[in-house]
Amino acid sequence: MTGVAGLLGEIAGIGRDSARGGYSRQGYSRTETELREWFVAHAERRGLDVRRDRNGITWARWNPASVDGKAIVTGSHLDSVPGGGGYDGPLGVASALVAIDLLAARGVRLNRPIDVAVFPEEEGSRFGLACLGSRLAAGAVDPSRALALRDDAGDTFADVLRRDGLDPAHIGADHELLESIEAFVELHVEQGRGLIDIGQPVAIGASILAHGRWRITIDGQGNHAGTTLMSDRHDPMVAASRMIVEIRDAACAVYDARATVGRLVPVPSGTNVIASRVSFWLDVRHPDTAVTASLVSRIRDLVARVGAEEGCVATTTEESLSPTVHFDAGLRSTLRATLPYAVELGTGAGHDAGILAEHIPTAMLFVRNPTGISHSPEELVEDADAEIGAAQLADVLAALASPGPRAPHPPT
| Residues engaged in binding ligand HGY (CB under 6 A) | 122-123, 130, 349-350
Rounded-to-integer distance, Cα 119 and Cα 36, Å: 10
Least spacing, CB of residue 122 vs Mn ion, in Å: 5
Q: Under 8 Å CB-to-CB from 204, ≥6 apart: which residues? A: 332, 335, 336, 339, 342, 343, 344, 345, 363, 364, 365, 366
Binding partner selected for residue 3 from Mn ion, ligand HGY, none, CB under the kind-specific 5 to 8 Å limit: none
The residues pairing with 16 across neighbouring beta strands, listed in sequence order, are 23
Least spacing, CB of residue 281 vs ligand HGY, in Å: 12
In this structure, what DSSP letter does residue 15 have?
T
Binding partner selected for residue 350 from ligand HGY, Mn ion, none, CB under the kind-specific 5 to 8 Å limit: ligand HGY
Give the chain's count of helices (H) and strands (E).
Answer: 13, 15
String of contacts with Mn ion for each residue 35-74, x by CB under 5 A: ----------------------------------------
Segment near Mn ion (CB under 5 A), from 83-91, 111-119, 262-270, 313-321? 83-91
* 3-state SS class at 71: strand
Rounded-to-integer distance, Cα 135 and Cα 142, Å: 9
Rounded-to-integer distance, Cα 112 and Cα 68, Å: 6
Least spacing, CB of residue 346 vs ligand HGY, in Å: 13
In the set 53, 88, 174, 283, which binds Mn ion (CB under 5 A)?
88
HEC string for 161-198? HHHCCCCHHHCCCCHHHHHCEEEEEEEEECCCCHHHHH
Binding partner selected for residue 364 from Mn ion, ligand HGY, none, CB under the kind-specific 5 to 8 Å limit: none
Within 10 angstroms of residue 197's Cβ, the number of other Cβ atoms is 9
Binding partner selected for residue 130 from ligand HGY, Mn ion, none, CB under the kind-specific 5 to 8 Å limit: ligand HGY
123 vs 387, which CB is nearer to ligand HGY? 123
Least spacing, CB of residue 123 vs Mn ion, in Å: 5
Burial of residue 160 (CB within 10 Å: 0-12, 13-18, 19+) is buried
Least spacing, CB of residue 260 vs ligand HGY, in Å: 10
Phi-psi map region of 139: left, alpha, beta (phi>0 left; psi -120 to 50 alpha): left
Whether residue 80 contacts residue 39, with contact meaning beta carbons closer than 8 Å, is answered with: no
210 vs 247, which CB is nearer to ligand HGY? 210
String of contacts with Mn ion for each residue 146-185, x by CB under 5 A: ----------------------------------------
90 vs 113, which CB is nearer to ligand HGY? 90
7 vs 132, which CB is nearer to ligand HGY? 132
Rounded-to-integer distance, Cα 8 and Cα 300, Å: 42
Binding partner selected for residue 115 from Mn ion, ligand HGY, none, CB under the kind-specific 5 to 8 Å limit: none
Q: What angle do CA 335, 122, 80 make, to 5 degrees?
A: 105
Segment near Mn ion (CB under 5 A), from 84-92, 107-115, 287-295, 392-400? 84-92
Rounded-to-integer distance, Cα 125 and Cα 246, Å: 25
Binding partner selected for residue 141 from ligand HGY, Mn ion, none, CB under the kind-specific 5 to 8 Å limit: none
Least spacing, CB of residue 396 vs ligand HGY, in Å: 22
122 vs 328, which CB is nearer to ligand HGY? 122
Least spacing, CB of residue 324 vs Mn ion, in Å: 18
End-to-end CA distance of the chain: give it in Å, rounded.
19
Q: Which residues bind Mn ion (CB under 5 A)?
A: 88-89
